[in-house]
Amino acid sequence: MKLKTVISKIEEEISIKQAEDFDNVGLLCGVPDRDVSGILVCHDALENVVEEAVQKNCNLIVCFHPIIFSGLKSLTGKNYVERAVLKAIENKIAIYAIHTAFDNDFFGVNYGICRQLGLKNMRILQPKENNLKQLTVFVPKEYSEKVKEAMFSAGAGSIGFYDECSFTVNGNGTFRPVEGSSPFSGQQGIRENADEDMISVIFESFKQGQIVGAMKAAHPYEEVAHQIYSLDNKNHHAGLGMYGELEEEMEETDFLKHVKEIFGLHVIKHSPFNHKKIKRVGVLGGSGAGGIRAAVSQKCDAYLTGDLKYHDYFLAESKMLICDIGHYESEQFVTQQLFEILSQKFSTFAISKSIEKTNPVNYFI
């Protein structure tokens, strides 16, 4: 299977277009037309991981963190990034990064954390804004279903855990073909009255090009009357962080012991105890100081993340227990999640999970 085909199938499950603007996701190095012999899934595509891919005959590395994050002006092997990329290129190994595309995915990083904690009633902590649009198009009644099917196939009409959502109103449309036109119905110079449906669908903004293209291809009119509106609605099924409820509320110390056991931690940095039982828990894998206020507003009793600074611990205002469990530690289940997704998606070649250590943070106990 060609690399470009493999990437296309991966993005059917996790669209990189939902990644944050600052991120560097997708194919970082590699030739799209090259055949894939095997996939190695990892957290960080470091030099030792690239060597592991060589030994396992895997010529595609699917990693969580992008090894290339900012621009490279040279490739001389002077630092860990250049050494990893050089080794990949020399061994004809492609590197594909998924990072915040998986952070923003409902079933991504934070879903994995919630699942490990045993949370229920999971919801997005920071729903994506400026992410939804509405398309309204006018279609001859007899073509209505064809146009709807085309838009649905291109990704329109998905709202949360429902798809093929639309609203249709029937009415009478008018138009008058003028010189230069080649009308589907009617004659030049004569106003035409048409029995038309007005179809409305909602879609995520990054899908606009493919949806409009599919709609126009299925539409019989030479000039397609349609409007696209940006919506103020938040997308509650995509975004950073999640929160949910434990089956049973827990004392603060018992909760911390529970977290230590699940994540295999030596230590947890946390804000002062407020002597409040823990029921609702917010999570944000990686560097999650930006989600503290959202967790407070959602009345979370505890919030798990990584990379917190001294002053971040004050932001809870004694309303919530803030826990820094470590950047890598909070994302440690990602490799297994990606392994499971790819294993289900591809059955014709080997999917391997990296066993190399890439966490740069160590603890002296």
Looking at the predicted structure, is the pLDDT value of residue 332 above 90?
yes
Establish whether 236 is an annotated binding residue.
no
Topology given in CATH for the domain delimited by 3-99+333-353 = 3.40.1390
Tokens of 213: 């293209």
What is the per-residue pLDDT for 70?
A: 87
pLDDT of 150-198, one tens digit each?
A: 999 999 999 989 999 999 999 999 999 999 999 989 899 999 999 999 9
Q: Is 331 annotated as a binding residue?
A: yes
pLDDT in tens, 334-358: 999 999 999 999 988 889 999 999 9
Q: Where in the chain is the domain with CATH 3.30.70.120?
A: 132-231
Whether the per-residue pLDDT at 83 is higher than 90: the answer is yes
Is 105 annotated among the ligand-binding residues? no
pLDDT of residue 291: 98
- Find the mean pLDDT for residues 259-270: 96
- Asked whether the beta carbons of 50 and 91 are under 8 A apart, the reply is yes
Residue 240, pLDDT > 90, answer yes
Mean per-residue pLDDT over the chain, rounded: 96
pTM of the predicted model as reported, rounded to 2 decimal places: 0.92
- The architecture of the domain spanning 132-231 is 2-Layer Sandwich (3.30)
The residue-averaged pLDDT of 322-334 equals 97
Domain 105-126+240-324 sits in CATH 3.90.1150.10: no
Q: What pLDDT score was predicted for residue 347?
A: 83
What is the mean pLDDT of the segment spanning 200-223?
97
Read off the pLDDT band of 71 (50, 70, 90).
confident
Q: How far apart are CA 173 and CA 190, in angstroms?
A: 14
276 burial (CB, 10 Å; 0-12 / 13-18 / 19+) is middle
> Where are the domain boundaries for CATH 3.40.1390.30 in the chain?
3-99+333-353, 105-126+240-324
Taking the C-alpha atoms of residue 87 and residue 66, their distance in angstroms, rounded to an integer, is 15
CB 322 within 8 A of CB 294: no
Residue 327, marked binder: yes
Mean pLDDT of 99-110: 98
As a whole number of angstroms, the distance between CA 10 and CA 351 comes to 13
The reported pLDDT for the residue numbered 365 is 83
